[in-house]
Structure 1
Amino acid sequence: MKRVVVGLSGGVDSSVAAYLLKKQGYEVIGLFMKNWHDDSVTISDECPWLDDSNDALLVAEKLGIPFQTVDLSEEYKERIVDYMFNEYEKGRTPNPDVLCNREIKFDVFLKIALSLGADYVATGHYCRKDTIIENDKEVYRLLAGKDPNKDQSYFLCQLSQEQLAKTLFPVGELLKPEVREIAKEQNLITADKKDSQGLCFIGKVRLPEFLQQKLQPKQGYIIEIPSSEEMYRKSVPNFTSKQEELEFLSTKYKYNVNDGKVVGKHQGAHYYTKGQRKGLAVGGTPEPLFVIETDVETNVIYTGQGKSHPGLYRKALFISNDELHWIRPDLKLDVDEELQVMARIRYRQPLNKATLHQVDSGMYIVFDNAQSAITEGQFVAWYIDDELVGSGVIS
């Protein structure tokens, strides 16, 4: 009888994951991760970890499985929160949920589970895993969840073969309504519980307030760049090499304050991210303003009107070698190799056709269609059919 430790979060997905594993004959242990203590930055009681841990306990009692709480807040602060502050300070926009899976759930938590004699850990993620044999070796594949509305494979885009080997995703074959139905049938207290929102384990956070713990407010200008600006009309040069073309396509627009007009003030460029619309507090424009670039050096935010503003769009991005990750190392590209894939630059974004180009210093991804708000610090993930094969941090 194999032993599985389930990360019981107090939500419906992990509750049903535990139930399904028990039904399949595994010896199941429930573990609740407490990763955050500071309630001062969470909005009202959107993420009352106390309620969540109580719900997790009640689910464990109902299922008749052992349960305990582990406090990982020190590791969480060190690996996730400090990293977030650091990235925002550099003017990048991190994705804590992807990181939390790589560093906390499938690393720190996984090690705790293995120390309890577990064969596997399991979570309530909507994704699937299978195993194939390549060159006489077992290779694990991370596949999209069956429910297209809930597929969470993107959040696991940084997992390794070693981590996948020890992981189970029991709800990956189900649709969300089916999961709720099972929870109702089993009278689990989490059956109708709302899905959690916001930061992995912290909940809904007022981001500026959260960041203000470390990053001081600093007043600067909001500049509006007209869509008729000359730089958006520059002609495509004749390239002497593929590398030159890739560099051209992935280069972002460079702005300075004289390119547009001052339309307002902000409290710190590091609180804003590309594509952001809310929180600018600038009115009176025919179309809403979107952030098209932030400059943390000069503390200026550049904006443009409307979601089709040319400053939002770019066809290519670059990932440096040290931030490139293959879930399937056997598919890794050599220098000058190309690969056709489907890719997304954020969760919930529909997959887009793209081509990977490996060069000496890293990898370019060129999309068939220009993408809105390609944001440094975020993760891009690429798929072949419904398998997520690799990912990287946008440089």
Structure 2
Amino acid sequence: MKQTVVVAMSGGVDSSVTAILLKNQGYNVIGITMRLYSPDDPLEEANLVGGCCSLDSVNDARRVCESLDIPFYAVNYKEEFERLVIDYFQREYEKGRTPNPCIACNIHMKYDLLLKKALDLGADYLATGHYVRRWYHEEKKRYVLARAVDEKKDQSYVLYNLTQEQLKHTLFPLGDFEKTRVREMAKEFGLTVHNKPDSQEICFIPNDDYKQFIEKRSNKVIKEGYFYDTKGREIGRHKGIPYYTIGQRKGLGLALGYPAYVVDIIPDKNIVIIGSNEDVFDKGLLAEELNWISIPGIEIGEELEVEVKIRSAAKPSKAKIKKLKDNQVQVIFQKPERAVTPGQAVTFYDNEGLVIGGGVIESRIR
């Protein structure tokens, strides 16, 4: 009996090739796209054209499914997306933290709501076009994630939060392919989306201007405050906490005679600390909201030597992690890391590229 898989269709090349590969492997394939936009809402104009869940992407996904002769559904999750992703995005920036809405979307939308929808439809799996590898590890007796073959496209960093139950019902067919090969296959299969550009910007932010987006949505007045240098001296006025993130250089409006960077944000005092590039480097961090994948967890006081990533595009670096208390670990880098950013994710790997787990950066260790 054929197994059924629901493919999360974005209208792009990756999810389209995912659907074809699974159909060719003998699965019953169903395509589903999440509709997260509202055409009459001026705040969501970005979702009409270009985003990964935009109106034109929904239409592209429908056309791909028609060409493959597979069922297609569009599910409206606008309310849930607003509450679980956009509101979170706004709150984090207002608190002086830098959110990762793509991770929030994965956690809440794809691998919770959409996976539940897939199982409700009687499917065995949900599949996505993420570049990551997943299998059941007989020795560990656990499902594991590993970095993709295409290291430049690897997306394991944003999937550290998957649970064993979610991994049991999830497929990632593209993890063994280079992105160039995926585009070649799309062209060979006759897909009109074979040369469609990858989505780069946050899908719900018009023109990638998240600051204006926050201003429009916020019920609070974004108050100006003061820049201070690392010695505690006032050196200028800033536009408001949500406008800045750790490591930022552009848009500060300061002429200090040296390259200036945001090195810290103190939201309760409405202060942004400015320093040199050297001041942006930290020796470690504290992470919370942890999830473990290749292991069931570590005990309080236990240390592990790992590789870590503190942003998606970063190369893994060596570090030691130590559990300090329930759901909190200390991470000490072998070499200082640049722009450790509270609110972002940190993902842990072993020396074979398996995802050990990860968490949310709570604070920096200077």
Identity %, equivalent residues: 42
Asked if the contact 1:58–1:189 (Cα under 8 Å) also holds between the matched residues in 2, the reply is: no
Matches within 5 A, 1:1-395: 1-37=2-38, 38-40=41-43, 45-47=49-51, 49-134=54-139, 138-199=141-202, 205-212=208-215, 213-214=217-218, 215-225=220-230, 259-263=232-236, 265-282=237-254, 284-305=255-276, 308-310=277-279, 312-320=280-288, 323-330=289-296, 332-361=297-326, 362-384=328-350, 385-395=352-362
What CA distance in whole angstroms lies between the structure 1 residues aligned with 2:17 and 2:44? Answer: 30
- The separation in 1 between residues aligned to 2:29 and 2:118, in whole angstroms, is 11
Q: Is the 8 A contact 1:98 1:157 kept in 2?
A: no
Deviation at 1:205, TM superposition (A): 3.0
Contact persistence 1:211–1:271 (CA under 8 A): no
Query: C-alpha distance in 2, partners of 1:49/1:216?
Result: 30
Distance 2:284 2:337 in 1: 8
Distance 1:105 1:360 in 2: 30
Residue identity opposite 2:249 in structure 1 = R
Does the residue aligned with 1:223 lie in a helix, a strand or coil? Answer: strand
Quote how far apart the aligned CAs of 1:121 are. Answer: 0.5
Measure the CA separation in 1 of the matches of 2:205 and 2:354.
29
Indicate how the Cα distance of structure 1 residues 204 and 16 shifts in structure 2: closer, same or farther if over 3 A, else same. Answer: farther
What letter matches 2:336 in structure 1? A
Residue 175 of structure 2: SS of its match in structure 1?
A: coil
User: What is the one-letter code of the residue matched to 1:364?
Assistant: Q
The answer as to whether partners of 1:324 and 1:391 remain within 8 angstroms in 2 is yes
After superposition, the Cα gap between the structure-2 partners of 1:201 and 1:66, relative to the gap in structure 1 and judged at 3 Å, is farther
User: Whole-Å Cα distance in 1 between the matches of residues 330 and 27 of structure 2?
Assistant: 44
Q: Which residue type is aligned with residue 175 of structure 2?
A: G
Q: Deviations over 1:92-135 (max 9, x none)?
A: 21111111111110000001111111000000000010111247
Q: Write the distance in 2 (CA, Å) between the matches of 1:169 and 1:304.
A: 43
The separation in 2 between residues aligned to 1:175 and 1:100, in whole angstroms, is 24
The 3 A distance-change label for structure 1 pair 328 and 201 is: farther
Distance (Å, rounded) in 1 between the aligned partners of 2:206 and 2:189 = 27
Deviations 1:39-98 (A, max 9, x none): 536569443811101111111111111111111111111111112222222222111111
Give the TM-score, by structure 1 length.
0.85
Per-residue CA deviations over 1:156-195 (Å, capped at 9, x if unaligned) read 1111111110000011110010000001111111100000
Runs of at least 4 residues off by over 6 Å? none
How many angstroms apart in 1 are the aligned matches of 2:249 and 2:44?
A: 22
Deviations 1:199-220 (A, max 9, x none): 2565753111111111432122
Counterpart position of 1:236: none
Q: Partners in 2 of 1:224 and 1:168 — Cα distance? A: 49
In 2, the alpha carbon distance for the partners of 1:155 and 1:203 equals 23
State the secondary structure of the residue aligned to 1:316. strand
Shift of 1:315: 0.8
Spell out, residue by residue over 1:348-374, the C-alpha distance to the aligned partner (whole angstroms, 9 max, x if none). Answer: 111000011112352111110111111
Counterpart of 2:80 in 1: which secondary structure?
helix
Which whole-Å CA distance do the structure 2 matches of 1:391 and 1:203 have between them?
A: 30
Aligned residues: 353
Q: Provide the secondary structure at the position in 1 that maps to 2:173.
A: coil
SS at match of 1:393: strand
Is the 1:4–1:28 Cα contact (8 Å) retained in structure 2? yes
Query: Retained in 1: the 8 A contact 2:50–2:56?
Result: no
Unaligned stretches of 5+ residues in structure 1: 230-258
Name the amino acid aligned to 1:369.
Answer: K
Identify if the C-alpha distance between structure 1 residues 202 and 25 changes in structure 2 by more than 3 Å, giving closer, same or farther: farther
- Helix, strand or coil for the counterpart of 2:6? strand
SS in 1 for 2:30: strand
2 CA distance for matches of 1:274 and 1:51? 34
Give the distance between the partners of 2:324 and 2:139, measured in 1 at CA.
Answer: 26
Alpha-carbon distance, 1:342 to partner: 0.3
Query: How far is 1:151 from its partner?
Result: 0.3
Contact 2:145 2:294 in 1 (8 A): no
Inter-partner Cα distance in structure 2 for 1:2 and 1:392: 33
SS in 2 for 1:297: helix
